[in-house]
Amino acid sequence: MFGATRPKGTTMLTEDVAGPVERLADFVIDMRKLLDDYGYFDGVLFGHALAGNLHFQMAADFANPAEVEAVRQVLDRAG
């Protein structure tokens, strides 16, 4: 569903991240903050919470060099 709502001309990215289940709430808060810090306010988090695995989706405009750099930083920080 997220892909259908992204701005025209953007690419939808889906990535996986994992964290300790006992810190799930902090993990979700940290991931939400990471997306927000880079302006991906419409980014989506979902996944297999009981396994400590989250997926996040965000839309990026790869024609914009500043956004390419922002995506690189998000992925570096998430990884």
**How many domains does the chain divide into?**
1
Tell me the whole-structure pTM to 2 decimals.
0.85
Rg (CA), the chain: 13
Q: Which amino acid is at 16?
A: D
The tens digit of pLDDT for each residue in 17-40 reads 998 899 999 999 999 999 999 999
Specify burial of residue 59 (Cβ count, 10 A radius: 0-12, 13-18, 19+).
buried
Q: What is the CATH number of the domain that holds 62?
A: 3.30.1360.20
Q: How far apart are CA 42 and CA 57, in angstroms?
A: 9
Task: Give residue 4's pLDDT band: very low, low, confident or very high (50, 70, 90).
Answer: confident
Instruction: Compute the average pLDDT of residues 48-77.
Output: 93
Write out the residue range of the structural domain in which residue 11 sits: 2-78
- Please state, in angstroms and rounded to a whole number, the distance separating the CA atoms of residues 9 and 62: 9
The reported pLDDT for the residue numbered 55 is 92
CA 58 to chain centre: 5
